[in-house]
């Protein structure tokens, strides 16, 4: 299948190819409402020696994870220059010839490298409509995989993924405390020293009929916390209280959302939120996404200290088994998270 980028460049597209038509003209329930302001978390306050400042940011995390499942992280300490270079190099990767990009695909069943177009990371045979997206996806922890082209790509991904792991560790400490757990509870219970981390680059070219297409359909993320940055072009929508809303980022901020494993671990106190990517007809959007999960062999279940007064709301499950089931679940089937709910 040719990439969406190739499709756009090879033809003077005036209308959307039928394979990519996701929404009908009459489907108004899917239209997002006005832009909403997400909670903002100041990452620097997690290292504050002022007990009042630290208590406030823990409370802010509790509110953000409990009420929204999404927040913007500012003052995270990741250099803006590193992020800009990474976006440029990812753009250079998608500019490479198709045959050159596909050389980096691997069939490693545990840690695959995927270079795809028009599909989600679920089983492609389960899909009826193609999505307006090309993407590159690979594991960077506990084992590191990365294409060796373009120049610097591997070094930039390595540095960015290490820095996001450091931020993720500190955030999980704050979230542990926000749940009334010991600061290192999640880190130890999820064996985060061997935690999984994926790097995904999504490329959304301008679309001739963006109101009928979709970049990524509604989904939740399988891990604990997901980090997302974008190249200044918006396209993220989230579901809040049953309605869809468009969200945009503050300059040099990172979108953070809670994933399925954090919902299970918190025994439902923090929800994994449905979100999607929409497209536009003017500019190419690139998003860089880092899902952070437990170690591959961790059995995830509700935290024991949270079960003293409330029964477990989710059945335990091996993390990589969970990921594999989610990948092969049809888009119209009951999500794996719902199948684990006990009441």
User: CA 109, 110, 116, 119 torsion: positive or negative?
Assistant: positive
Residue 113 CA to residue 176 CA, distance in Å, equals: 32
Residue 270 CA to residue 337 CA, distance in Å, equals: 13
What SS3 state is found at 292? strand
pTM: predicted TM-score of the whole model, two decimal places: 0.93
- Do 247 and 70 meet the contact criterion of CB atoms below 8 Å apart? yes
Residue 315 CA to residue 305 CA, distance in Å, equals: 16
Please say if the pLDDT value at position 110 is more than 80: no
Segments of the chain assigned E as strands: 40-42, 70-74, 114-117, 134-141, 196-204, 216-219, 225-230, 236-240, 243-247, 254-258, 275-277, 285-293, 299-300, 317-318
- pLDDT tens, residue by residue, 248-264: 999 999 999 999 999 99
The residue among 7, 274, 290, 283 whose CA lies nearest residue 134 is 7
Rg of the chain over Cα atoms, rounded to whole angstroms, equals: 20
Comparing 193-202, 294-303, 333-342, which segment has the lowest mean pLDDT?
Answer: 333-342
- pLDDT tens, residue by residue, 127-150: 567 899 999 999 999 999 999 999
Query: pLDDT value at position 120?
Result: 53
Q: Please list, in sequence order, all residues whose beta carbon lies within 8 angstroms of the beta carbon of residue 36, skipping any fewer than 6 positions away.
A: 240, 245, 246, 247
When pLDDT is cut at 50, 70 and 90, the band that residue 121 belongs to is very low
When pLDDT is cut at 50, 70 and 90, the band that residue 29 belongs to is very low
Please say if the pLDDT value at position 167 is more than 70: yes
Query: pLDDT value at position 28?
Result: 40
- Do 203 and 93 meet the contact criterion of CB atoms below 8 Å apart? no
DSSP conformation letters of 208-250: SSTTT--SEEEE--SSSEEEEEESS---EEEEETTEEEEE-PP
Query: pLDDT value at position 52?
Result: 96
Residue 289 CA to residue 256 CA, distance in Å, equals: 10
Please state the length of the chain: 343
Partners of residue 117 on adjacent β-strands? 134
Please list the helix, strand and coil fractions of the chain in percent, rounded to the nearest 5, in that order: 35, 20, 45
Query: pLDDT value at position 309?
Result: 87
């Amino acid at each position: 299948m040719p990439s969406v980028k190739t499709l756009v460049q090879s033809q003077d597209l005036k209308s959307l190819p039928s394979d990519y038509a996701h929404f009908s003209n009459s489907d108004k329930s899917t239209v997002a409402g006005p832009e909403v302001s997400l909670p903002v978390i100041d990452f620097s306050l997690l290292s504050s020696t002022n007990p009042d400042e630290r208590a406030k940011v823990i409370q802010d995390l509790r509110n953000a994870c409990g009420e929204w499942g999404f927040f913007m992280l500012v003052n995270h300490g990741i250099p803006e220059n590193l992020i800009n270079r990474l976006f440029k190099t990812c753009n250079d990767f998608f500019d490479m010839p198709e045959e050159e990009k596909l050389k980096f695909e691997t069939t490693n069943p545990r840690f695959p490298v995927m270079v795809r177009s028009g599909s989600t990371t679920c089983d492609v045979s389960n899909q009826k409509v193609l999505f307006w997206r090309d993407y590159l996806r690979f594991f960077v922890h506990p084992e590191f995989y990365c294409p060796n082209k373009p120049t610097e790509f591997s070094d930039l991904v390595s540095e960015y993924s290490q820095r996001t792991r450091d931020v993720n560790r500190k955030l999980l400490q704050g979230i542990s405390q926000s749940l009334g757990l010991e600061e290192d509870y999640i880190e130890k219970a999820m064996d985060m020293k061997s935690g999984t981390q994926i790097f995904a680059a999504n490329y959304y070219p301008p679309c001739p009929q963006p109101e009928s297409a979709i970049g990524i359909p509604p989904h939740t993320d399988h891990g604990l916390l997901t980090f997302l940055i974008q190249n200044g072009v918006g396209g993220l929508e989230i579901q809040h209280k049953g309605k869809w809303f468009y969200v945009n980022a503050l300059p040099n901020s990172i979108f953070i959302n809670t994933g399925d494993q954090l919902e299970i671990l918190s025994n439902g106190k923090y929800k994994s939120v449905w979100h999607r990517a929409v497209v536009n007809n003017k500019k190419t959007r690139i998003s860089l996404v880092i899902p952070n999960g437990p170690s591959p062999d961790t059995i995830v279940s509700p935290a024991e200290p949270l079960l003293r007064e409330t029964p477990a709301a989710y059945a335990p499950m091996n993390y990589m088994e969970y990921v594999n089931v989610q990948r092969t679940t049809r888009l119209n089937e009951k999500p794996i998270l719902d199948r684990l709910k006990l009441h």
